[in-house]
Chain A
Amino acid sequence: MQDNIIVRTITRILIPFIQLYGLYVIMHGDSGPGGGFQGGVILGSSIILYVIVFGVDQGRKIIPEKLSDTLNSIGVLIYAGIGLICMIFGGKYLEYNILPLGSAHFASHIGMLGIEIGVGITVAAVMITIFFETARQER
């Protein structure tokens, strides 16, 4: 589809908005509909759109295998790490409100946001990885 100028241009314009929306959904996960999983899927879909239009090789230049594999792990580590940090500060696993961030309410907010970001990273990276793997099989 690289030859089609309309598709190429529209994709270039759309991708930033898709990603912005993905980030919005992740950040508002604790106070509105959405969250890490949904936002992660939206973020991942922006890369998938790019790969569909510009091809697998070009896509791998933007997201090399190393990067997507690392992000797969990083997201879960953020999630698990926040749980462990809560334990270090004397709470139970994932007890965010114990974190020393002023009020318990604010600490819960930050803790939840943290794990949503972790979930978002992993989900986006996994979507991208699955797409690259299936695309590679068909060549």
Chain B
Amino acid sequence: MNISQHFPVMIVIIPLISAVIIPLIGRIRRIYGWYVSIAATFSSFLISISLLMTVFEKGRISYWLGNWEPPWGIEYVVDYLSGFVLVVISFIAFIITVYSIKSVGKEIPEHRITPFYSIYMLFVAGLLGMIITGDIFNLYVFIEISSLAGYALIAAGRKRDALIASYNYLILGTIAATFILLGIGYLYMVTGTLNMADLRERLPLLYDSKVVRTAFAFFTVGLSIKIALFPLHIWLPNAYTHAPSVVGALQAATATKVGVYAMIRIMFTVFKPQFILEVVPVSQIFLFLSAVAIIAGSVLAIGQRDIRRMLAYSSIGQIGYIVLGIALANKSSIIGSLIHILNHALMKGGLFLVVGAVVYKTGITDIDDFKGLGKRMPFSMAAFTIGALSMVGVPLTVGFVSKWYLALGALQAGMWVFVPVILISSLLSAVYFWRVINNIYFKDDGVPARIDDAPAGMLMPAFTLAACCIIFGIAAFIPVYITGFAAEMLLRG
């Protein structure tokens, strides 16, 4: 048996099996659940790298589940796009898992730690499944797996507010999932197939059909709720604020990114670019909404007192960037969007990890209480500063690279109006991060002197992400090279 041919299914199966093994093994000792999670996410990460390398060597990988030939059977597909996103998501999941144990030990009641890790791995399995599947109904199943696990993870927060936040997310998330399911149902009704590649072949003949257009409308709205695009973002700030720190970091860094990936899949590989640009000009709507999201997310972030809520609103703005690049639909802009999936995961993941470390040490979440924290927790705050600079888009950090490509894409599309939007938003993010940085380094009172820096187990992961912010800011050619292939593949009509 050649094990490497099974890698596409293994990357989903390993987290899935570990999710059910953890409750068994966690009975012996609670810490074992964490060990299993680390092993599973790390092996998923290694497999994802191997898959991406295989794609560069041999091209698109197709794995037939149960050896049923597509379009009848379920197909798992790894190409430049899904390979890249798999590496990003499994890497972030691995880093956050390594980080998690101290924070989880403090924020989650002891008897709930084992179930927590079980659901955590289910969440990861759902996300990886969403990325790799080439079957549109299977996509829906994985969306539901990751969403349901996500609701439970958010509800694990310490305060009662977490339950309300989770419930609101549950309602909106279920509406979104129902819309996506309706869209799938309509497509199935007119084409009789659920395989994405097969749909791509059959749909162009039906682009004038009202059923297909209705399906596309359902997909658009459903996925927009899932990724929290601006007017549909209501669930997100509370969910990120009241969730346990680890979950906040994981959700912010991975969940919405995978949602955007699903949107790209639907818009560019199930439908063709020509459909969203010419037949149903939905890209116009997305251009407008994303510009509003970029500005509004940043403006709302300025007004927040709670640091997690500030980061959450900033995420809404960053989602706007990614959608802007998709809607501009040329090579540079799509490269910008795709590397922003990586870059935002690194930046926002790192920032949330530092905030988690601060909560672990001091319990502070109010920005006004951060005064003098730079002296007490110098290493954590250094990581935070790198993340913040990157969010603003300072050159030599990842934030600059993705904004550069997005601006380039806007100019190439002849829509220069979006360049000032990106600039203004950068200035606004400088404003809201300056409030925090100012309190950390230039004010003295506040945090008691007995507070020292976070333990190494929390610092190392946060620094890894911060370091990646700089590494991929300087060596930007690596992700740009990979996403270049993905963008070309997406735009092939």
A-to-B contact residues, CB < 8 Å: 66, 69-70, 72-73, 76-77, 80, 83-84, 86-88, 90-96, 98
Contact = CB atoms under 8 A, between A and B. Distances in A.
15 contacts: A66-B27, A69-B23, A72-B20, A73-B21, A73-B24, A76-B17, A77-B21, A80-B13, A86-B66, A91-B67, A92-B6, A93-B9, A95-B67, A96-B66, A98-B67
A88 B1 CA distance: 6
A73 B65 contact: no
Contact of A84 (B13, B20, B66): B13
B4 to A, nearest CB: 12
Contacts, number: 48
Interface of B: 1, 6, 9, 13, 16-17, 20-21, 23-24, 27, 63-67
Nearest to A108: B66
Given A72-B23, A93-B6, A83 B67 contact: no
Contacts of A98: 67
Given A80-B16, A87-B6, A92 B24 contact: no
Contacts of A92: 6, 9, 63-67
Nearest to A73: B20
A85 to B, nearest CB: 11
A70 B24 CA distance: 6
Contacts of B23: 69-70, 72-73
A96 B66 CA distance: 7
Pick the 3 closest A-B CB pairs, nearest first: A73-B20, A94-B66, A92-B67
A53 to B, nearest CB: 29
Nearest to A86: B66
A33 B446 CA distance: 67
B17 A77 contact: yes
Contacts of B27: 66
B20 A83 contact: no
Contacts of A94: 65-66
Contacts of A93: 6, 9, 13, 63, 65-66
Contacts of A76: 16-17, 20
Contacts of B67: 91-92, 95, 98
Contacts of A96: 66
A93 B63 CA distance: 9
Nearest to A92: B67
A95 B66 CA distance: 4
Contact of A87 (B1, B16, B64): B1
Nearest to B118: A73
A103 B17 CA distance: 29
Contacts of B24: 70, 73
Nearest to B114: A69
Contacts of B21: 73, 77
A70 B28 CA distance: 13
Contacts of A88: 1
Contact of B20 (A66, A77, A86, A87): A77
A28 B16 CA distance: 27
A64 B23 CA distance: 15
A83 B13 contact: yes
A72 B27 CA distance: 14
Contacts of A72: 20, 23
B69 to A, nearest CB: 11
Contacts of A73: 20-21, 23-24
A88 B9 CA distance: 14
Contacts of B16: 76, 80
A90 B5 CA distance: 11
A84 B407 CA distance: 48
Given A80-B20, A92-B9, 19 more contacts: A69-B23, A70-B23, A72-B20, A72-B23, A73-B20, A76-B16, A76-B20, A77-B17, A77-B20, A83-B9, A84-B13, A86-B66, A87-B1, A88-B1, A92-B6, A92-B64, A92-B67, A93-B6, A93-B66
